[in-house]
Each structure stands twice: as C-alpha cells, then as structure tokens.
Amino acid sequence: MIKEENRQIASNIFEGMTSVSALIAAIEAGHNDRPILEIRFDRSKKPKKLREFSFLQRKCQEMQIPLRLTDTAELEKICIGNTHGGIVALCGDRTLPLPTEDTLPRQGFLCLMEGIEDPYNFGYALRSLYAAGCDGVLLGERNWMSAAGVVARASAGASESMPLWSGDALSAVKTLKNMGYRVICAGIRNSVSLYDAELKKPLLLVVGGEKRGISAEMLSLADEVVRIDYGRDFRGSLSAASAATVMAFEILHQNQ
C-alpha cells in the first residue's frame, strides 16, 4: 500500500521540524497538553542540521523528553509522508475541551467545518484560518484530530497552536448564539455576497465540505448565508480549504 493511502489512519506521529517545533511552542505557551513521548533524529542528517539538533536537544532536556538518534530506514517505517527530514516526534493525545460558555471566548472569530473528508484538506484550512487570526475551531465529536500528525503536517503546525473544541456541533452553535455570536454559513441559496455581509466579531463561520456541504439543521441556525462571487462564469465550487481562506481574510479585513 502506498504511504499516502494511510493518511486517514489514526496517528500521533509528528513528522518534520515545522510540526515538531510548533508543537513544542504550543506546549510551552500553555495552549496544548499533548505529551511528546519521544523525539527521534536521523543521525545521518545531524551534520547538515546541527542547528535543529541543538534546538531539540536543549528543549528535550528542558521538557524531559527522550531524544534518540536513529537511522533513515527506521523513520521510513513509522512515517506516513516523505518530508520528515529526519525529525519525528512520537506523541500522545491532546485534550480537546467541550465547547461551553465557560471554555469559549466571549468575543472572537471562530470557525466550524462540516463534512471535510480528508485530513489534508482539514489541515490546509486550519493553516489559513490560523494565519487570518481565527480564534479557534469547533470540531464535531468525530473529527480528523485522530490523524493529528497528518493534520499538523498539512497545517504547518497550526493545528497544534490553534485552540480547538470538540463536542456536538449543533449544541455548540446554539451555545455561541446564546453568547451573542452571529452565525455565518458559506453557501449559495438565499445568500448575500461576502463583500456585502456584516462580518464583525463575535462571529462563527461555518464551512461545508465539497461533497455534502452544510447540513440543513446547521443552515437553520444561520443568521446569514454568504457566497463568494467569482470573477467569471464558473459552475464549480471552491474547495472547503479555499473557501475558508477567502472568507477568513475578509473577516480579518472587516475587523481590523
């Protein structure tokens, strides 16, 4: 089986310096309680990556994480991707709090993504949301964080720095509405243009996957449905990650 075909398999193996350093930074900042059980470093890469090795050696001593030199063949056996660069962290599970009035921010820009069927697309969306200043993402009870290593790689580590909540999505949206959040759903039917919509915080953006879109139950909770206008006649739709990117940066623009 080709490695990339394993990308939906549950895995807490973080591959590459970008993912590993982002996780370390998130733990140190108190944003994340994911335990790092061990870091493995390809000894053949050490001469060319002395800076990375020195950084990891120092952090492992500070955080009491085992650091073990290994070889390329061993890392290839445990990694899903091919871009680990000889640096891998074996990790445990991260605690994701329930979305309640006590845990959610009072004022913010949050996002909920329904029906995304691939952890890479989920990770790409998280990367853009994080860059656009999103204050956190709501996840359903079944979500792609079981494939945390893949999501971290696709998001360039943003998934580990981003505040995340996991629970019943409909209940979470109702809680946010009670807290004064407006709920904006991405869609076409009965929609207004993104650039004509009021997108001030506190705001929840809901984006659906390419195949299933947003559920009718979720749409019934929307305060407004917003569309992205295209530059030409185009009967297709943007990917969920692309739609989330465009909308998130317009939200950033309106709240600056």
Q: How many CB atoms lie within 10 A of CB 48?
A: 11
Domain match, 74 and 185 both: no
Domain match, 149 and 24 both: no
Expressed as residue numbers, the domain containing 212 is 109-255
- More confident of the two residues 32 and 82: 32
What's the pTM? 0.90
Res. 8: pLDDT tops 70: no
Domain match, 73 and 130 both: no
Domain match, 115 and 78 both: no
Confidence (pLDDT) at 115: 80
Confidence (pLDDT) at 81: 72
Summarize pLDDT for 122-166 with one digit per residue, the tens.
999 999 999 999 999 999 877 888 899 999 999 999 999 999 999
Beta-sheet strands, E only, within 187-223: 192-193, 203-208
Determine if the peptide bond prior to 202 is cis (ω within 30°).
yes
User: Residue 40 belongs to a domain with what CATH number?
Assistant: 3.30.1330.30
Give start and end residues of each alpha helix (H) in the chain. 17-28, 50-63, 72-78, 119-131, 148-154, 158-161, 169-178, 216-219, 240-255
Res. 106: pLDDT tops 70: yes
* Neighbouring residues of 164: CB distance < 8 A, sequence distance ≥ 6: 94, 96, 136, 137, 138, 139, 145
**In which order are the strands placed within the sheet that holds 224-227?**
164-166, 136-139, 109-114, 203-208, 182-186, 224-227, 192-193
Distance CA 140, CA 112 (A): 9
**Domain membership flag for residue 102:** no
User: Residue 218 belongs to a domain with what CATH number?
Assistant: 3.40.1280.10
Distance CA 176, CA 136 (A): 13
Res. 198: pLDDT tops 90: yes
* Beta carbons of 129 and 248 less than 8 angstroms apart: yes
Average pLDDT, the chain: 92
* Interval 198-217 mean pLDDT: 90
Res. 3: pLDDT tops 60: no
* Neighbouring residues of 78: CB distance < 8 A, sequence distance ≥ 6: 13, 88, 90
Domain match, 83 and 125 both: no
Domain match, 80 and 152 both: no
Confidence band for 20, pLDDT divided at 50, 70 and 90: very high
Res. 1: pLDDT tops 50: no
Percent of the chain with pLDDT over 90: 77
